[in-house]
Structure formats: C-alpha cells, structure tokens
Amino acid sequence: MFRSALFCSVAVMLASSAAFAGPQTVFSKDHLTTFISPLSAAQQQAQAGKAGAGGVANKFATAYKYGLYWCCSGGTIAGKNSPLGQSIEQGNPFTPKATKTVTKITVGAAYSSGTNSVTVSLYNDDNNAPGSVIASGTVKNLPDFGTCCGTVSIKIPATQLVKGTQYWVVLSAPDDGIESWSFSEIDQVHDQTYAINQGGAGWQVVTMSKASFAWDVK
C-alpha cells in the first residue's frame, strides 16, 4: 500500500516537480522530498547492504536482506549552492530506552548530484528540536539514489546516551551537493517526527503521516 501510494505520488510530481538534479531525480514542490521515477527504479540493479540490528535505536528493516529501506524516495539533503538554490538539513529524534554508550551511526543515504558526500551528526535536544552537535562525521562515496540497499556509517567517540532523553540524528550536504535520505519501511502506520532546517532559517519540527528516515545508532 505504501509503495503504491509513493508511485502514484511520483507520477503526479513528475509533471509539477522542481529543479532536476540528475538523470532520475525529481523533487516535491517544497524541495523536501526526493523521488526516482518508477521506470528508472525498475532499471536499477539491487545492491545488497548490511546494517546491524539492535543498538540504541534502529530504523532499518534488518529482517529483509534486499529491503533495508525504501529505495526510491527520501528526504532531500542539499547544500546552499546546489541546483535547488538553498540548503536543506533534516533529522529524526529518538529516545533511548536504556542508558548506553554508542560509537557508530549508520544511515541509508544516497547520492544525487554535486559532491558525493554527506555529514551525519548526533544532536542533543533543545525544546523538542535539534540543539547542539554532540558528535559528527562526513562520509564519501554514497550509493546512487534509486539503488538498494547500501549504507554509510560514521565512527564517533564513545558517547553515553541517557535513558529517557531525546536526541536527534541529522544529515547535511556539502555546499554543492544534493543527497537523499531514504525512508524506512518498518513503520508505515504511525505519524513520524522530523526536524527541517531549510535555507538556514532554523529548525522547524513537523509531524507527518509517512515513514521515518532509515538509520541506526549503536
């Protein structure tokens, strides 16, 4: 049902989407969501990937070798000098159920145009929005948008996350880059919370009826 709805959305947006970053990528009118056309998606070769289960929080569908996340739509992550003409950062919150030390963040991010890299950051919470950066790292050579299911990871200094305290995983792009943060497939029922910093205007937190982004922290 979720996939059918996405394909219908893509079909509509092909006629009304904004700037075109690559041979297969289109954008929603507000630039916050990236899509790949059903035809292009069908032509992509599957790339099996691994993302470890468990940890403090996990949004990968680890039970499915060829479906860790949804391949063909995600949140736009863009730099200020990208073809979209503005920066876009996005993030998801999580709250550990137990106090634990973490050293790694893995994301289902994919490359669209410009410099092929993404910065992955762990933020503390400030009044239900991303506050200050706790740890951060940049990774290169992301898989191409529309393929599944490669992942990229950053190693961070051992960081203790406290039970019952909210944190955020946030992605940002290089100045000329456009990347996509793939949607998770593990919960297509409940509303999800997102933080969006568009054009450097500050964080806006929204709740929407769509999947979380694909990531894990461990």
What are the tens digits of pLDDT across the range 134-190?
Answer: 999 999 999 999 888 899 999 999 999 999 999 999 999 999 999 999 999 888 788
Confidence of residue 62 (pLDDT cuts 50, 70, 90): confident
Determine the Cα–Cα distance for residues 134 and 140; give it in Å rounded to an integer. Answer: 21
How many Cα atoms are found within 13 Å in the side-chain-facing hemisphere of 44?
A: 22
Phi then psi dihedrals of residue 3, to 5 deg: -65, -40
Residue 96: band (very low, low, confident or very high) from pLDDT cuts 50, 70, 90: very high
Sole residue written with tokens 């937190």: 205
Question: What is the pLDDT, as a whole number, of residue 33?
Answer: 85
pTM over 0.85: no
Model confidence at 98: pLDDT above 70: yes
For residue 200, pLDDT beyond 90: yes
Average pLDDT over the chain, rounded to an integer: 83
Q: What is the pLDDT of residue 24?
A: 67
Query: What pLDDT is attached to residue 7?
Result: 30
pLDDT at position 100? 96
Q: How far is CA 198 from CA 4, 18, 140, in A?
A: 28, 15, 23
Percent of the chain with pLDDT over 70: 80
DSSP-derived 3-state class of residue 191 = coil
Chain Cα centroid distance, residue 184: 9
Q: Which residues contact 14 (CB under 8 A, 6 or more apart)?
A: 26, 37
pLDDT band (50, 70, 90) for residue 63: confident
Q: Which residues does residue 109 pair with via DSSP β-bridges, in sequence order? A: 181
Number of separate helices (H) and strands (E) present in the chain: 2, 15
Task: Supply the pLDDT for residue 20.
Answer: 45
Q: 62, exposed or middle or buried, with CB in 10 Å at 0-12, 13-18, 19+? A: middle
